[in-house]
Structure 1
Amino acid sequence: MHSSQLLILGNGFDLHCGLKSSYKDFFQSTILDTIGGRYGLQQMKAGVSGFWETLLFGYYTTFGKVNYNWCDIETIIKNTVLAIGNRNKGLAFEALESVKRREDPNEIKSVYGTIEHFIYINCMSIFYDTLYSGKTYSDNEAYSLLINRILQELHKFERGFCKYIKNNIVNPNNEKEYNTQYIVNAMNLLNTLTGFTDIRYETIDDIIERQEEAYYKPLSPTMYQSDWREKHILSQEFSNLHSVNILSFNYTALFDILGVQSPCLYNNVHGKLCMNKCAENCASCNIIFGIDDTVIQSQEENFELHKFSKTYRKMLIADAETSILPKIDNQMIEIKFYGHSLSEADYSYFQSIFDYYNLYENNKVSLIFYYSKGFEQTDEVYRIINTYGKTLSNKDQGKNLTHKLLLENRLKIIEVP
């Protein structure tokens, strides 16, 4: 029977391929080594750096040695949004009252402790800029300006991350020269996950050797934008992917990097890198840092907090993309995962996919969770399936969903090299 695949990729995919794409790598390179080393926290508080850089650097200096989540930007965004609260309560409201009393931010004691203190101080700084700019604002207007200012700062932070990732793929001193090794690693891993090659890795020379009747020299360690011959060789390796749809939570788009047409449906859920030489406010830099919509459902009285949700921000950049989900037409559907943390930040996407395919009833749908050695996710897989089971209207079915999938051989956890 014909089968289709939905391959869901997380940042572990790019990391496995040698790309330093983690938030921690970015912070180490951009914030700790550059901004923090140059200025220090006090100067950052004084406005040398942006809202999120200051927040993250402060969080690192407090918790960096004991809490690995210090560099988890999406957790920081969630904590910040929930701490800010709405117009009538929360840190933003208290910060506004402090500003009205003209209190000095530098004299505010860390009564809130931890990250809340940094949020409080930064809110005060923005309110001071707003309320004493020569214009008159109501409390509601000041609050709206705060939200928009923090969101603008997030856009700037995202563009910085976009530039950082791009510089790991493209030579920053020659934007026509690409990192071929990352591309070949990604190609090998993609073919392995989709099952179209043996589970082994090839080198650039291996690829050329298989096609030596048509090509006479090996690929170079780097690839130039204009070298269509090399791009053609690499793109031929994906000719079997027509039955695969790829849903990527990364910001890299392999076929865009190659400059060739994608042989399959490929959707970057949270935006993708701009491969052009772009200006600071380039509209093509549309990558998204955000939080799951369910996190702020309890804050519905203040719609402005939804501006930080991935769903809301995805709406703002959505184009006429074809649905990424393989059609339900009496065929086998394999939903494969690799490199995703399976965290709550993206749970709403998984729930929608499981709902779409009627995971409990449809025995033609199977789940395959791939992992690399040392990164097994049995606990995470168990949690996400059981969390989904709780949403089923038939609670008894929800409780035995994992057991049913295992019994029907529709749930597998597989190690890849």
Structure 2
Amino acid sequence: MPNIDEALRHPRLRDCDNLLGSYIANKMLKQDKEVGTLSFADGPRENRIRAYRRFMRNELTEFEHALSAYLNHAVVDAGSRDPLRYFIGASSLYNAIASAPSLPRNEEELAQQQNSILTFNYTYPFRERERYFPGLMSINPIHGVLSSDPVRAEIIIGIDVVKQYRNGKRELVNDEEIVTFTKTYRTLQSTTQHGMKSDIFGQGTLDCIKFFGHSLTEADYSYFRSIFDHVDLLW
């Protein structure tokens, strides 16, 4: 924020050290009436921070809409070539994961399970759940689901809520300027707005957690920590 704050005071600044700040400040001047007023540059810094947050959230929303439109186009294009390929593949994968490690199991045994899925995909293949996804009780799309209307996109993009340092130290983000851009904050906000269940695993005792296709990098540490803490798993 300091470089951008400086550029907001001098929006025509063009020095190389503050090129990004100058670009953002000039774009804000064109889009925000408050930023364009004569008193804005010399007013309280809190006003500039508030305008900057508002601008960046709008930019993030526009990016999410653009990504949603692109992904919807890709889904429609793939479906026109082979309408059932993704659906059948998802059903087969679910059955394989749900059956492990005691392969094979029949559909009757799978139907007696009570499975919950946490998915990080934007697509939603869980049609005809009882027939093709036996035993599946709940689905929680962590980062939202694609909408056919990109303007109403509910997909979530954000930064990690945990800071990672080179020396291995980790700490939660507590800076008010950036906390509203974290995935955790935005997911909780979406859950509140759309009335989603707060218990991501539904009801009952959890017997087993299975991971598939998830990165094990440092950047995903907070996901595993949140899941394990949620079920009170010591690690």
Q: Is the CA contact 2:98–2:110 (under 8 Å) kept in the aligned structure 1? A: no
Task: Tell me the CA shift for residue 98 of structure 1.
Answer: 3.5
Q: For residues 68-126 of structure 1, what are the alpha-carbon distances to aligned partners after superposition, in whole Å with 9 as ceiling and x for unaligned?
A: xxxxxxxxxxxxxxxx3xxxxx3322322432xx32x4xx32x47xxxx5x32432223
Task: Tell me the CA shift for residue 271 of structure 1.
Answer: 0.8
Task: Tell me the CA shift for residue 172 of structure 1.
Answer: 9.0
Task: Tell me the CA shift for residue 151 of structure 1.
Answer: 1.1
Question: Could you say if the C-alpha distance between residues 335 and 317 of structure 1 is closer, same or farther in structure 2, counting changes exceeding 3 Å?
Answer: same
**Runs of 5+ unmatched residues, structure 2:** 165-170
Aligned to 2:158: 290
Q: Secondary structure at the match of 2:210?
A: strand
Q: For residues 159-199 of structure 1, what are the alpha-carbon distances to aligned partners after superposition, in whole Å with 9 as ceiling and x for unaligned?
A: 2222222222224998xx97311111222222222226968
Aligned to 2:87: 183
Question: Could you say if the C-alpha distance between residues 339 and 158 of structure 1 is closer, same or farther in structure 2, counting changes exceeding 3 Å?
Answer: same
Aligned to 1:247: 118
TM-score by length of 1: 0.44
Aligned to 1:194: 98
Q: For residues 331-386 of structure 1, what are the alpha-carbon distances to aligned partners after superposition, in whole Å with 9 as ceiling and x for unaligned?
A: 7x2211111113444433321322233433xxxxxxxxxxxxxxxxxxxxxxxxxx
- The correspondence of residues 9-408 of structure 1 with structure 2, limited to 5 A, is 84=1, 90-99=2-11, 102-103=12-13, 105=14, 108-109=15-16, 111=17, 117=19, 119-129=20-30, 130=32, 133-134=36-37, 136-137=39-40, 138=43, 139-171=45-77, 179-195=83-99, 240=111, 242-255=113-126, 258=127, 263-274=136-147, 276=148, 278=149, 280-282=150-152, 285-295=153-163, 300=174, 302-318=175-191, 319-321=195-197, 323-325=199-201, 329=205, 333-360=207-234, 389=235
Identity percentage over the alignment?
27
**Runs of 5+ unmatched residues, structure 1:** 1-83, 85-89, 200-235, 361-388, 390-417
* Rounded Cα–Cα distance in structure 2 between residues aligned with 1:147 and 1:238: 51
Question: Could you say if the C-alpha distance between residues 189 and 259 of structure 1 is closer, same or farther in structure 2, counting changes exceeding 3 Å?
Answer: closer
RMSD of aligned C-alpha atoms? 3.5
Question: Could you say if the C-alpha distance between residues 335 and 132 of structure 1 is closer, same or farther in structure 2, counting changes exceeding 3 Å?
Answer: closer
Q: Is the CA contact 1:248–1:269 (under 8 Å) kept in the aligned structure 2? A: yes
Q: Which runs of 4+ in 1 moved over 6 A?
A: 236-239, 296-299
Q: Secondary structure at the match of 2:209?
A: strand
* Rounded Cα–Cα distance in structure 1 between residues aligned with 2:76 and 2:109: 22
Task: Tell me the CA shift for residue 241 of structure 1.
Answer: 7.6
* Rounded Cα–Cα distance in structure 1 between residues aligned with 2:129 and 2:111: 15
Q: Is the CA contact 2:120–2:143 (under 8 Å) kept in the aligned structure 1? A: yes
Question: Could you say if the C-alpha distance between residues 351 and 173 of structure 1 is closer, same or farther in structure 2, counting changes exceeding 3 Å?
Answer: closer
Q: Secondary structure at the match of 1:158?
A: helix
TM-score by length of 2: 0.73
Greater Rg by CA: 1
- Structure with the bigger RCO (C-alpha within 8 Å, sep 6+) is 1
Q: Is the CA contact 2:118–2:200 (under 8 Å) kept in the aligned structure 1? A: yes
Q: Is the CA contact 1:169–1:178 (under 8 Å) kept in the aligned structure 2? A: no
Q: For residues 138-161 of structure 1, what are the alpha-carbon distances to aligned partners after superposition, in whole Å with 9 as ceiling and x for unaligned?
A: 332222111111111111111222
Q: Secondary structure at the match of 2:55?
A: helix
Task: Tell me the CA shift for residue 299 of structure 1.
Answer: 6.2
Question: Could you say if the C-alpha distance between residues 347 and 265 of structure 1 is closer, same or farther in structure 2, counting changes exceeding 3 Å?
Answer: same
Q: Is the CA contact 2:116–2:137 (under 8 Å) kept in the aligned structure 1? A: yes
Task: Tell me the CA shift for residue 247 of structure 1.
Answer: 0.7
Q: Is the CA contact 1:191–1:238 (under 8 Å) kept in the aligned structure 2? A: no
Aligned to 1:15: none
* Rounded Cα–Cα distance in structure 2 between residues aligned with 1:323 and 1:298: 22
Answer with 243-252 or 335-344: which moved more. 335-344
Question: Could you say if the C-alpha distance between residues 92 and 134 of structure 1 is closer, same or farther in structure 2, counting changes exceeding 3 Å?
Answer: closer
Q: For residues 222-269 of structure 1, what are the alpha-carbon distances to aligned partners after superposition, in whole Å with 9 as ceiling and x for unaligned?
A: xxxxxxxxxxxxxx99963842211111112211xx365774211001
Q: Is the CA contact 2:28–2:55 (under 8 Å) kept in the aligned structure 1? A: no
